[in-house]
Chain A
Amino acid sequence: MAKTVTQEFVKGLWAEIPPFRLVLGLCPTLAVTKTVEDGIGMGVATGFVLVCSNLLISMLRNVIPSKVRIACYIIVVATFVTVVELLMQAFTYPLYLSLGIFIPLIVVNCIVLGRAEAFASKNKILPSIADGLGIGIGYTLSLAALGAVREVFGSGTFLGNPVFGPSFQPFTFMVQAPGAFVCLGLMLCLMNLAGKK
């Protein structure tokens, strides 16, 4: 059953890619994927928190008493989220403005807490980092893909550059909340079709 570190890393990219395979962390998925840039920003922020919290929780897994483990995880996760928030404010302020409340909300993102509870608390440090890195990169890719579809059709741009001619009428539905649900559903459907043997 023991997987190699590489396997732990790779599984986050396809077999357990969030939010498509692990259907978790949908709140930011639906809310911040209006553009590719926001999607990537959110993914990287979540990925950073995942790696750091997985590392620390795995290190402390024999120290943390099981009765108060959730409280300990929340402290660890909240600390790293605040670190991300401060760094974002200091270095990428426009991104911080467009992600807004969803940065502090990473604390309650099920993916982060889910990985801490399901993986890092039972595994050694190296596999835990690999797991966090894999899931984090997988999440970033998913959000970027979702953001790309929504931005291209919803605003006719990709990373802020127009992709269609001036006669293009933006499909505004895509950048609104219902568009996010429809888009996520369709992509999930495609993923399932592709994964079927």
Chain B
Amino acid sequence: MRELAKMVIVLTVLSSLSGGLLAMLREKTQDRIEQQVLEFVKGPAIRKILAGAANDPIADRFTLADGEAKRSFFVGKYDGKPDVVAFETFAGGYGGDVGLIVAVAVDTDQIVGVGVTTHNETPGVGAAVETDVGFIRQFTGLDIASGPKVTKDGGSINAISGATITSRAVCAAVGKAGDLYKRLKPEILKQLKTFSG
């Protein structure tokens, strides 16, 4: 009986100490980790799309509640006016979700550019979305609400050869971005005002 009690006590104490330590460390590192994820996962795509912006879009960001979820928006300033927002959406590709950054000019509702952040597509086939400039460029200048489709589905986007599913995922992510933008536009405009000047 004493042995049993000792086992239970040792395991309990050890587990709670471990849990406490990890919770504390998580609390301490959380902000930094978020910063790192932004910098290394979304950062490259955002900086590429908003290359001409006068500010640092990673630093100038705000979050909005979208139902349950929280969305981050990155602000791009052109000619001193914060009129471009970039945000991330996801759509199912061939190997899981494809993450896409979509940048929109708020005065015209036109897409400034899109860029793939995370994906798990087949190397050499679907993975080309990351590098295929010609494919990605097709979205630039489209209306955000137009809901682009690949030519196979009756749309105007030329899919990457051999990677229709991946191309569809990018179109779907743009479509979702359109919905999200429409839903949150009033609040986005309100937030953007705080970045002007």
The answer to whether B33 touches A90 (Cβ under 8 A) is: yes
The answer to whether B22 touches A68 (Cβ under 8 A) is: no
The answer to whether A79 touches B7 (Cβ under 8 A) is: no
The answer to whether A93 touches B37 (Cβ under 8 A) is: yes
Q: A83-B25, A89-B29, A90-B29 are in contact. Are A71 and B36 (CB under 8 A)?
A: no
B46 → chain A closest CB, angstroms: 16
Residues in chain A near residue B11, CB distance under 8 A: 68, 71-72, 75
**Chain A residue with Cβ nearest B29:** A90
The answer to whether B40 touches A87 (Cβ under 8 A) is: no
Does B10 sit within 8 A of A, measured CB to CB? yes
Which of the candidate stretches A59-67, A123-131, A146-154 sits at the interface with the other chain?
Answer: A59-67
The answer to whether A75 touches B22 (Cβ under 8 A) is: no
User: What 1/0 mask marks residues of chain A from 65 to 92 whose CB sits below 8 Å from any chain B CB?
Assistant: 1011001100110110011001101110
The answer to whether B10 touches A64 (Cβ under 8 A) is: yes
A152 → chain B closest CB, angstroms: 23
Does B63 sit within 8 A of A, measured CB to CB? no
The answer to whether A76 touches B18 (Cβ under 8 A) is: yes
The answer to whether B33 touches A68 (Cβ under 8 A) is: no
The answer to whether B40 touches A78 (Cβ under 8 A) is: no
The answer to whether B36 touches A90 (Cβ under 8 A) is: yes
The answer to whether B36 touches A93 (Cβ under 8 A) is: yes
A93 to B40, CA, bound (A): 7
Residues in chain B near residue A97, CB distance under 8 A: 40
Does A165 sit within 8 A of B, measured CB to CB? no
The answer to whether A89 touches B36 (Cβ under 8 A) is: yes
The answer to whether B14 touches A72 (Cβ under 8 A) is: yes
From the candidates B10, B21, B26, B39, name the one contacting A63 in the complex (CB within 8 A).
Answer: B10
Interface class of chain A by DSSP: helix
From the candidates B3, B7, B22, B39, name the one contacting A83 in the complex (CB within 8 A).
Answer: B22
Does A195 sit within 8 A of B, measured CB to CB? no
A65 to B18, CA, bound (A): 18
The answer to whether B10 touches A67 (Cβ under 8 A) is: no
From the candidates A65, A75, A76, A90, name the one contacting B6 in the complex (CB within 8 A).
Answer: A65
From the candidates B3, B18, B39, name the one contacting A93 in the complex (CB within 8 A).
Answer: B39
B142 → chain A closest CB, angstroms: 31
A65 to B11, CA, bound (A): 9
Does B190 sit within 8 A of A, measured CB to CB? no
A3 to B21, CA, bound (A): 34
Write 28 A-B pairs (CB below 8 A) sorted by A numbering.
Answer: A60-B14, A64-B10, A65-B6, A65-B7, A65-B10, A71-B11, A72-B10, A72-B11, A72-B14, A75-B18, A76-B14, A78-B18, A79-B22, A82-B22, A82-B25, A83-B21, A83-B22, A83-B25, A86-B25, A87-B25, A87-B29, A89-B29, A89-B33, A89-B36, A90-B29, A90-B32, A93-B39, A94-B40
Starting from the known contacts A65-B7, A67-B3, A75-B11, 9 additional A-B residue pairs (CB-CB under 8 Å) come to A68-B10, A76-B14, A82-B25, A83-B21, A83-B22, A86-B22, A87-B29, A89-B29, A89-B33
